[in-house]
Structure 1
Amino acid sequence: MTPPPRKRRADAHRSRAAILDAAPRVLDADPDAGLEAVAVAAGVTRQTVYAHFPSREELLFAVADRVTEEAVAVMDAVDLDAGPAADALMRLLDTGMRAARRYPVLLQRISALPVGPQAGRDQHRPVADRIERVILRGREAGEFDDRLPVDWLVAATIGLGHLASEERDAGRMSETAAREALRTSLLRLLDAADGADG
């Protein structure tokens, strides 16, 4: 007797969640691990993994979405409406970078995947929305200059955040130096009013 459709959907949902829980850990520890290793860690069969993710690339994109969701949850726990906008922006970026550090090897592999410009924008959209919100708040409060397009500032903020992480991960800058370089660069980019505390 086959289980009813609702139970099959619930089982499929649990299997997918188990795969996405296991895959970041497995693939960060060994980026070349096969889907069999992910299946074992998830407690499902290899066929179940393929049923949800027909290719390794699809699994990696789904994992990227999951890691982004985790980072956004951490960012949302930071009060983006409290204090100067420059401080809120750095809190947001700090929490995002800490979340990304959970899976450094995996994220490097994911960032090397070929994606089109729209897919890249879509992938960063949840983070970009939060950065935009803080930048607009800073403009309204007179903390940030309004001469450059907001979309440009958001993209530049994301790019500088990635650069700071890469410099730190490569050992070219300490955590403190990378954070300070990021803050200084962003404040200059935003033409922020002097006096924002760090």
Structure 2
Amino acid sequence: MSVPPDRNRRADARRSKAAILDAAVRILDVQPDAGMEAIATAAGVTRQTVYAHFRSRQQLLLAIVDRITEETVAAMDAADLHTGPAADALLRLLDAGRQTARRYPVLLQKISTLPVSPQLDHDRHTSVADRIGPVIRRGQKSGEFDDRLPPDWLVTVIVKLAHSASEEQEAGRMSSQEAEHALRTSVLRMLGAATED
């Protein structure tokens, strides 16, 4: 029994799109201003194929954000967030996010300059927030974290603190170790948990 042509075309399109994203991540993390032609060449496709999947460079960059977010969420899920004290789980979650970000320093800096609406920015962080929220609620329920502030607010602040730590490091105002320490200490203090100092 043969595979229908439409199914073959869809499978080819998925492979092309994945190859384009893989190439874009590799190329743009080294050369953030590389053009679509360079990405197409690295992906082994034509420039027209790139534009068939991504109508603009900005659309490609936004798809890369989604790809990196998926990678971050997978790392967070692998951090065993349901065991041990909530503070330890939260620190493992933050570490997983930072490990992913460290793999793409130039690319993430480029992406951070993209104009996005507050709603789109919020929506893009939903899967990360969905990992942080349960850990905070668990810590509040156990008494490990202060329960006077709403978990959703705390999630928002933690995401902003993580971005701020990354921005300080990228700007050269803090070393990687200083930014990581500042983030961990700030989050634990905000939650009313014991700090590592």
Matched positions, count: 194
Which residue is equivalent to 2:11? 10
Query: 5+ unaligned residues in a row in structure 2: which ranges?
Result: none
Amino acid of the structure 1 residue aligned with 2:165: A
What's the offset of the Cα at 1:78?
Answer: 0.5
Q: CA deviation at 1:41?
A: 0.7
Q: Which residue of 1 aligns with 2:46?
A: 45
Identity of aligned residues (%): 66
Residue in 2 that maps onto 1:157: 158
Shift of 1:74: 1.1
**Residue deviations 1:44-79, cap 9 Å, x none?**
110000000011111010011001111111111111
What displacement does 1:174 show?
A: 2.8
Output the CA distance in 1 between the equivalents of 2:112 and 2:173: 20
Contact 1:87 1:197 in 2 (8 A): no
Structure 1: where are the runs of 5+ without partners?
A: none
Contact kept? 2:145, 2:191, Cα under 8 Å: yes
* CA displacement, residues 77-135 of structure 1 (integer Å, 9 cap, x when unaligned): 11101211111111111110110111111111111111111100111111111111110
Counterpart position of 1:76: 77
CA contact (8 A) 1:164 1:181 kept: yes
Aligned counterparts, 1:1-198, within 5 A? 4-192=5-193, 194=194
- Distance across 1 between alignment mates of 2:178 and 2:9: 52
Q: CA RMSD in A?
A: 1.5
Q: Secondary structure at the match of 2:125?
A: helix
Instruction: Note the C-alpha offset of 1:177.
Output: 2.4
User: What is the SS of the residue equivalent to 1:151?
Assistant: helix
